[in-house]
Structure 1
Amino acid sequence: MGMWKDRNVWIILCGEMIAGLGLWTGIIGNLEFMQEKIPSDFVKSLIMGLGLLAGILVGPLVGKIIDQSRKKNILLLAGAGRLVSVGFMLIAIWTGSIWWMVAFMVSIQLSAAFYFPALQAAIPLVVKEENLLTMNGWHMNVATIARVAGTALAGVLLVYWPISTLYLISMVAYVGLLFFTWMLRIDEGKGREAQVKTTAKSGGFMEVFPVLKSYPVVTMTVIMTLIPLLFLGSFNLMVINISEIQDSSAIKGMIYATEGFAFMLGTMTVKYLANKWKTQTILFIFVCLIGFAEMMLVFADQQFLTLVAFAIFGFSIGCFFPTAMVIFQKQMPKEFHGRFFSFRNMLERVVFQIVLLATGALLDLIGLQSMVVVFGTMSLGLTVVFFIQLKRKNIILDQMKPAAKSA
């Protein structure tokens, strides 16, 4: 329980709660704004994709900057960038301009491209190695509580107040995040920082690739984390479509709440599963369940089965992602954390964007219920392929055994 006596832990979790409330009230605002202004799902996906593209383009630079700089400074600058981006969205609402919304999407994703890798690199500097699974789980739990509360709050506010209210709340939340970030005390020793700077200058972002070759467990886990993105990348567009299929605006909030609570249950359960099951077992079982949940959305016209599908998905990613994050934080050398997490962030954004565009096109062409069969089949097929690869290369995904460096 020593982790809970650390003020940094509480600051990170409180900051995540406040920022999450701001983020998710804003996301519901985005969906509402696009539903009013843009009829085509594919055009919606293009607009969402522009922001992701901006994050992808700066990815190589981000990793190098994070490894050469103090994590707290990066977090503060990214927080300030979020405030500027909310200003763009307020202008979009007041003018009715889609282009100002595009400016918001680009700027908020640029801020996220710096913020999340810096935070993931900072967590191992704040908590001890044996507490990483607990910290990752609680951090994801708090983010999920904020998501459930933020989406519920946004739904209530939209009934009584204009959409601009959501972004004013976001702005207040991001000011709160800046305050909590400023209170952080991260020990980045001079000796280690100098070592990181020397290493970073020699090869920059590209040095991640030879390091990944020395850590096949990390490489395989990175690839496996891309499978849930088929579901995550299509999540918001699917929620809009399910709402239209069931002719219910209330189902949006119900889906977010169900998935969110199931996710929290997963993050609490995985600590016990980690003591009984191998890491490899945890990752593969829950990736298979994610594919099964996608298939279940064939019954998207049935409210109960829809909610069951999102509950299975939420529980599965609640078990999957904290486990994968511990592998990354323990196995990858700390002096490469900034570049590695930035690389992973960039890779996820590339896949996320491809999925987003594909989702928009498929929803227009074949509809939701046919699309989920395609995505579910792909998820299960990729899982089988990766399992065969692990067996063939004799890779063991055991987070408790540090990877040996190659000679």
Structure 2
Amino acid sequence: MWKNRNVWIILTGEMIAGLGLWTGIIGNLEFLQEKIPSNFVKAMILSVGLLAGILAGPLAGKVIDQSKKKSVLLISGFGRMVSVVFMLIAIATDSIWWMIAFMVCIQLSATFYFPALQATIPLVVKDNDLLSMNGWHMNVATIARVAGTALAGIMLVYWSIASLYWISMLAYGLLLLFTMMLRIDEGEGREAQVKSPNNKGGFMEVFPVLKAYPAIGMTLIMTLIPVLFLGSFNLIVINISEIQDSSSIKGLIYTFEGMAFMLGAAFVKIISIRWKTTTVIFFFAGMVAIAEFMLYFADNAIITLAAFSVLGFALGCFYPTAMVVFQKQMPKEYHGRFFSFRNMLDRIMFQVVLLTAGAFLDIVGLQTMVVIFGVISLSLTTLFFYQMKRRNITLEQ
């Protein structure tokens, strides 16, 4: 795998783009904290971009399956650069509306970029390298997240918010250069199959495939459980910072969660030798619920960091394993539409969770909310495990 130049290009590009992405996200949170006092209103603004991504999801799936993956990656990467311009205008004019334009543009770009990237990975590595590639890709993204948030924190001390977005612009420009160097052999036979008249139905053609491969459908449902935590992640971090009256806890949370994620993604290859895919997915979905319960003690810095470490390790094992199920068992000619469908489903859930978390934080507070989320996560994990056993579904290939 490491002799494959495409692997190095994808991972290096992810590292650079991740730095730009996370410096921008910290800039978004800082801008919102300065302008908007209500958690719910913050959540509504953040959800506007998600809604745009949801609406564009069906189109993205068809475009990715009917087009060259490299072309989609390049065009959506350029869209990211354009979106940063909107945020620079928002800062210059002190306007929330320009920030909303930024959120819409960046999410539309992501709606095309990430499913195309997920559909590209099986084309550039062998099947037996998919778990390692997914793990390393997520590790690199996590390193970028830790480094990006740390860099953004330092920059905010010495420079303005606008400087964060200039870093984002530079990073997205470098990502375009790396994407141009990709060599993807999609195969003429496969392209002909994808472009046939029977493959223009968008998401509707994904549903019969999900019915034919119940393991994919079950894994897809299971990936929604961590979204309860992830959808409200940034709001939770802000509230913990306020509860503990510490701005430095934000950086520590991202660092501990990120390092634990990398540890999990590195160890999942060893764990997968001893454990079945079903065991890995359900066990670590349960661990996400445990992490949510631990945040009941959000006023304690040590327990807080331990909770995010548990979350990071669980996700580091959970997501690479789930991704292998999708990439191996879903027929390749449906990858674009399936990953776009999954991306759209995630965005819908993120939007619901984001708005719900914003309301809960204003009404009942963080500690009650995380207990509710923990009960829901644990109940769903138990219910889906029972359904899987009752219907005799196996997640192994």
TM-score range, shorter chain: over 0.9
Structure 2 match to 1:228: 226
Distance 1:267 1:199 in 2: 40
Distance 2:387 2:209 in 1: 20
Is 1:67–1:335's contact at 8 Å kept on the other side of the alignment? Answer: yes
Trace 1:315-330 onto structure 2 (pairs within 5 A): 315-330=313-328
Distance 2:21 2:2 in 1: 26
Q: 1:300 aligns with which of 295, 298, 301?
A: 298
Distance 1:190 1:288 in 2: 43
Larger mean CA deviation between 198-207 and 352-361 belongs to: 198-207
Distance 2:252 2:202 in 1: 45
Shift of 1:204: 2.6
Distance 1:199 1:160 in 2: 57
Distance 2:363 2:278 in 1: 37
Structure 1 match to 2:192: 194
Q: Deviations over 1:301-329 (max 9, x none)?
A: 00000000000000000000000000000
Distance 2:268 2:186 in 1: 30
Q: 2:96 aligns with which of 89, 95, 98?
A: 98
Trace 1:347-358 onto structure 2 (pairs within 5 A): 347-358=345-356
Is 1:205–1:339's contact at 8 Å kept on the other side of the alignment? Answer: yes
Structure 2 match to 1:184: 182
For the pair 1:10 / 2:8, whether they are aligned, the reply is yes
Q: Deviations over 1:7-53 (max 9, x none)?
A: 00000000000000000000000000000000000000000100000
Trace 1:38-53 onto structure 2 (pairs within 5 A): 38-53=36-51
Structure 1 match to 2:309: 311
Shift of 1:205: 2.5
Distance 1:338 1:239 in 2: 33
Q: Which amino acid aligns with 1:152?
A: A
Distance 1:244 1:201 in 2: 51
> TM-score, structure 1 length as denominator?
0.97
Partner SS for 2:185:
coil
Trace 1:15-164 onto structure 2 (pairs within 5 A): 15-164=13-162
Q: Deviations over 1:253-300 (max 9, x none)?
A: 000000000000000010000000011111111011100100100110
Structure 2 match to 1:208: 206
Is 2:36–2:42's contact at 8 Å kept on the other side of the alignment? Answer: yes
Q: Residue 53 and residue 310 in structure 1: after superposition, are their counterparts in 2 closer, same or farther (change >3 A)?
A: same
Distance 2:212 2:64 in 1: 22
Is 2:62–2:200's contact at 8 Å kept on the other side of the alignment? Answer: no
Shift of 1:206: 1.1
Distance 2:132 2:339 in 1: 19
Distance 2:360 2:377 in 1: 16
Is 1:61–1:205's contact at 8 Å kept on the other side of the alignment? Answer: no
Q: 1:287 aligns with which of 285, 288, 296?
A: 285
Structure 1 match to 2:380: 382
Q: Residue 381 and residue 9 in structure 1: after superposition, are their counterparts in 2 closer, same or farther (change >3 A)?
A: same
Considering only aligned residues, what root-mean-square deviation do their CA atoms show, in Å? 0.7
Distance 1:23 1:199 in 2: 37
Partner SS for 2:201:
helix
Q: Deviations over 1:80-125 (max 9, x none)?
A: 0000100000000011000000000000000000000000000000
Q: Deviations over 1:364-401 (max 9, x none)?
A: 00000010000000000000100110111011111xx2
Is 2:295–2:304's contact at 8 Å kept on the other side of the alignment? Answer: yes
Structure 2 match to 1:174: 172
Distance 1:191 1:392 in 2: 39
Distance 2:258 2:224 in 1: 20
Partner SS for 2:55:
helix
Distance 1:364 1:197 in 2: 49
Trace 1:232-311 onto structure 2 (pairs within 5 A): 232-311=230-309
- Unaligned runs of 5+ residues in structure 1 are 402-407
Distance 1:309 1:272 in 2: 23
Q: Which amino acid aligns with 1:181?
A: T
Distance 2:134 2:319 in 1: 9
Is 2:199–2:205's contact at 8 Å kept on the other side of the alignment? Answer: no
Distance 1:224 1:384 in 2: 11
Shift of 1:58: 0.7
How many pairs were matched up? Answer: 397
Q: Which amino acid aligns with 1:100?
A: W
Is 1:60–1:205's contact at 8 Å kept on the other side of the alignment? Answer: yes
Shift of 1:203: 2.3
Distance 2:289 2:55 in 1: 30
Q: Residue 365 and residue 7 in structure 1: after superposition, are their counterparts in 2 closer, same or farther (change >3 A)?
A: same
Distance 1:70 1:289 in 2: 39
Structure 2 match to 1:404: none
Distance 1:295 1:153 in 2: 30
Identity %: 71
Distance 2:232 2:203 in 1: 29
Q: Residue 12 and residue 354 in structure 1: after superposition, are their counterparts in 2 closer, same or farther (change >3 A)?
A: same
- Unaligned runs of 5+ residues in structure 2 are none
> TM-score, structure 2 length as denominator?
0.99
